[in-house]
Amino acid sequence: MRYFSTCLLWIACTIAASADGLRALPEATRPADRRLGELRNLNSYFPFQPVEDPDAWPKRRAEIQRRILLSQGLWPMPSKPDLNAVIHGRVERDNYVVDRVYFESIPGHFVTGSLYRPKGKSGPFPAILSPHGHWSDGRFYDAGEAQIRADLASGAERFAVGGRFPIQARAVQLARMGCLVFVYDMTGNADSIQIGHRPDKAAHLDRATDWGFFSAQAELRLQNMMGLQTWNSIRAIDFLLELDETDPTRIGVTGASGGGTQSMILGAIDDRIAAAMPCVMVSTSMQGGCTCENAPYMRIDQGNVDIAAAIAPRPLGLTAADDWTVELETKGYPDLRQLYADLGHKDRLTAAFNLHFKHNYNHVNRAVMYAFFNRHFKLGFKEPILEQDYVPLSRSEATVWTDEHPAPRGDAIGDPHEVRILQLAAEDSRQQMDALIPSTNDQLEQYRRVVGGAWETILGRRLDQVQATSFHKVDAIKREGLSIAVGLLDHAGEQLPIVEVGDSGAKGTIVWIADKGKQGLWDGDRINPLVAKIARAGYRVVSVDLIGQGEFVSAGGSLDAQRMWYQRGGEQAWHRFAGYTYGYNHPLFVQRVHDVLSVIRHASSTGNQRVHLVGIGGHAGAIAAAARSQAGGGVGRTFIDTKGFRFASLQRQDDPMFVPGAVKYLDVDGLLSLCVPGTLDVVSPELPIVARVQRASEASKEVRWHQTGNELLSAIEEWGVR
């Protein structure tokens, strides 16, 4: 029966192929491509991606770091202007003091917080950052009388005061243990009043100039709320290191929930963190639901367990609860335990699985944290370390804004402030990119490390990473004296309809990428005359329906938008954040680049002939340029005509060509520059970035500029077509 069904399918496919010379599948049948399934999202499953042996860990760790930094607009690291820190309004307690602090992480943008110090002792002290997470009012959090009664009854808390003000409690205890502790406000909480944490509206700032967060232009430059929060955390380390009493070898970070996200991120990307304890956040399940916990590309091929692991072999502490971390002990933690054992430091991993408590950073788990830092920072206390009661700060004692130090107002808050700091970030990035563009050969390495490394992460696949492909021929016909094969190309769950024109391809294979997919080989009912001429000259021409083209869409239509995943129906601006899609799924453009690389791999596996690449069209030209940038020596000559397309012109985040970060990393010009050295024919006036890289590469004859796409014929004739 299975054989009979297969025959029917083959007959149907043959009829379809004979009808128009192109279809590999029956009408209304889409390719069996895994990418057509449900989009991944923050609630998907994220198992740890293990390495084969400990020697491979540094490379894997570097990949995780770069992906995090890039996702948040921090690759390369932005400029660091003076913090202009202000410390004032000291509050005295029995054996610790608390200072009010604010400093500028970006000129005019303030990070606010409370600095706890040991009283009557001299440093250097260990210093611990304490991001608070998503508790109401953040640093000012008060759990209330009803909650503390329940927590005391359940054993979650030891003292009423500590339980009502748990964020203060951990800072007090660590200060009593001899640590500096900086409890700082996450964006839009407590004294951080300049930008809201989860804005209800953002569409009015989604514009070509003077844009805000959640806009197309911001995403094209990887400007996002998570990046701002992480940048504030990095600058908080800078602030601590400006204090004479800070021991730079003992800087730690701990927080829970959203504060746990910041703790694991900071431990992963900043080697100045000597130990990190992210609580009730690290899991293979829900990855963090807020815009301050999501950014494009961050969780593609990795999840929170991988991110937390990136601190290894430095000390890492974790807690789990009856929340999304409930399975950590069996999913994720065993991988971390194995990693630390393989690295020879199994004693540097700590975990507590108090699953009888809901989402928390209660005294039971805080006690685990005190022991963690006591052990790794050699504080010398006998364990268990239990909190003692204390007098909490009132709101008037905790706020940094006073009559002598007034809060920002006017243009320093709201939309004007948001627009201004993004303009500053965009200009700083532009200057950094300009400085990277090489003028001499010895500057090429850094350019390729930063710009090339960025595009490598964005595109997510090099030609040498493409697994073996398999080609299933559906039909073979003759048209205009030329052999035409129609079939399906399979690669790792991805399936592409392709057409091959020409016989042996004795002179090589030309991969032909067009905006209409493989239909681009046709001119009405006939083979494109240029394609026919190339094939008769001894080349094989291969074209493909990239995902979202041709047989991927119904009735020969075109794709107007990428699929997006929104939070809870997308009724508010932050629910519709594009990072919820692009943080977990490759943009359509990137998936299409993967398809081109699969076709190149297929073309190169059928013989020793050279593979060349042609990309013609506003979309196809840019896609081909991106594929060529990741193909290395696997492609000979390349002809690119982008019809003037630039990513900067895009206005919608669901546009089929939308690629977060594309403008930051020099747009199509940057992609083409990464194809150098290589034999390129480009339809465009000379592009300055490509020209500079070309001269620096001492490959002045490898790039030729053409005025129109009509010059494709003459260019290809010089490849050997006569």
Q: Residue 142: pLDDT above 90?
A: yes
- pLDDT given at position 276: 98
**First CA to last CA distance, the chain:** 51
Which distant-in-sequence residues (6+ apart) come within 8 Å of 524 by Cβ? none
Contact, 499 vs 520, CB < 8 A?
Answer: no
User: How would residue 671 be classed by pLDDT, with cut points 50, 70 and 90?
Assistant: very high
Token pair recorded at residue 407: 């809060």
Q: Residue 19: pLDDT above 90?
A: no
Q: Tell me the C-alpha distance between 150 and 130, whole Å.
A: 25
- pLDDT given at position 651: 97
Q: Are strands 539-544 and 526-527 parallel, antiparallel or unpaired?
A: unpaired
- pLDDT given at position 568: 85
Q: Residue 720: pLDDT above 70?
A: no
pLDDT digits (tens, 9 = 90+) for 310-335: 999 999 999 999 999 999 999 999 99
Element (H, E) at 18: helix 2-20
Say how many residues make up the chain: 722
Mean pLDDT (the chain, rounded)? 93
- pLDDT given at position 716: 72
Q: Give the mean model confidence (pLDDT) for residues 638-652.
A: 96
Q: Tell me the C-alpha distance between 686 and 139, whole Å.
A: 55
Q: Residue 5: pLDDT above 50?
A: no
- pLDDT given at position 12: 38
User: How would residue 64 be classed by pLDDT, with cut points 50, 70 and 90?
Assistant: very high
Element (H, E) at 235: helix 225-242
pLDDT digits (tens, 9 = 90+) for 578-594: 999 999 999 999 999 99
In DSSP terms, 352 is beta-bridged to: 319
Q: Give the mean model confidence (pLDDT) for residues 396-417.
A: 98
Q: Give the mean model confidence (pLDDT) for residues 36-58.
A: 97
- pLDDT given at position 607: 67
Contact, 96 vs 116, CB < 8 A?
Answer: yes
pLDDT digits (tens, 9 = 90+) for 250-267: 999 999 999 999 999 999
User: How would residue 506 be classed by pLDDT, with cut points 50, 70 and 90?
Assistant: confident
Q: Residue 606: pLDDT above 80?
A: no
Q: Give the chain's count of helices (H) and strands (E).
A: 22, 20
- pLDDT given at position 598: 98
Token pair recorded at residue 312: 């290894």
- pLDDT given at position 6: 33
- pLDDT given at position 570: 80
Which distant-in-sequence residues (6+ apart) come within 8 Å of 90 by Cβ? 97, 98, 99, 100
Share of residues in the chain with pLDDT > 90 (%): 87
Residue matched to tokens 């200072």: 99
pLDDT digits (tens, 9 = 90+) for 23-41: 999 988 999 999 999 999 9
In DSSP terms, 526 is beta-bridged to: 523
More confident residue, 699 or 549: 549
Q: Tell me the C-alpha distance between 683 and 639, whole Å.
A: 8
Q: Tell me the C-alpha distance between 219 and 587, whole Å.
A: 12
pLDDT digits (tens, 9 = 90+) for 208-258: 999 999 999 999 999 999 999 999 999 999 999 999 999 999 999 999 999
Q: Residue 9: pLDDT above 90?
A: no
Strand segments (E) across 515-661: 522-523, 526-527, 539-544, 611-616, 637-641
Q: Residue 700: pLDDT above 70?
A: no
Q: Give the mean model confidence (pLDDT) for residues 500-515.
A: 88
User: How would residue 555 be classed by pLDDT, with cut points 50, 70 and 90?
Assistant: low
pLDDT digits (tens, 9 = 90+) for 467-495: 899 999 999 999 999 999 999 999 999 99
Peptide bond into 313 cis (omega under 30): yes
Q: Give the mean model confidence (pLDDT) for residues 382-400.
A: 97
182 CA to centre of own chain = 28
User: How would residue 714 be classed by pLDDT, with cut points 50, 70 and 90?
Assistant: confident
Strand segments (E) across 437-529: 470-479, 482-491, 494-501, 508-514, 522-523, 526-527
Distances (CA, A) of 191 to 138, 141, 266, 373: 9, 12, 22, 28
Q: Give the mean model confidence (pLDDT) for residues 298-315.
A: 98
Token pair recorded at residue 97: 């003091």
Q: Residue 4: pLDDT above 60?
A: no
